[in-house]
Amino acid sequence: MNIRELKVKPASPDALAPYGEVLGPERPKASHIGDFYAGAVAVHEPVRFVSDDDTCLSLTTVQPRPLEIDYLERHFKHTQTFIPLGGRPFVAVFGAPNDDELPDLDRLEAFRFDGSSGFCMHVGTWHEFPFALEPDTQMVIVLRNETTRDLSGDNIVDNEAQGGDLDKKNLLKRTGSRIQLVL
């Protein structure tokens, strides 16, 4: 087995731009509703979520695990979004969308989020499920219901999953490499 190291960088809107958008208080856009509450309520649309089907809000609790990337996945029909609750830091790994069978492992990037912001990925962005840096890190995940179905049952073969909106690859099996994150 070959071990590759990937250095974790601070998340920022500019750094994340090839993969999606930061979702947090630092990127508010103009409010699009009337001023019904004398300025007491400001509703912003900081990112554009895309899905042409039923969408699910899932609440997940993530525990720290080894900082090793075994899987990468991508979605073809929606802009999956992760919204942290409780301000706990986490690491997210991204690879640029492509038409290949696998992401370009030499161009993967890892980012540390401080827990005050989340992200909304571009369609097709390769990613691993976020790595919690503290116990009981909670996140809201916005995704298509089809994706949830793609992650179960007959869609799982040899520890990988395929479906209409999902392409989940086992990197160790396919490349003989494991990617180790370096904080």
> How does pLDDT run along the chain (183 residues), one tens digit per residue?
899 999 999 999 999 999 999 988 765 566 666 777 777 777 766 677 777 778 888 999 999 999 999 999 999 998 999 999 999 999 999 999 999 999 999 999 999 999 999 999 999 999 999 999 999 999 999 998 888 888 887 888 888 999 998 999 999 999 999 999 999
Q: pTM for the full model? A: 0.90
Domains and CATH numbers, the chain: 2-182 (2.60.120.480)
Nearest-angstrom CA–CA distance, 137 and 62: 5
Nearest-angstrom CA–CA distance, 77 and 86: 29
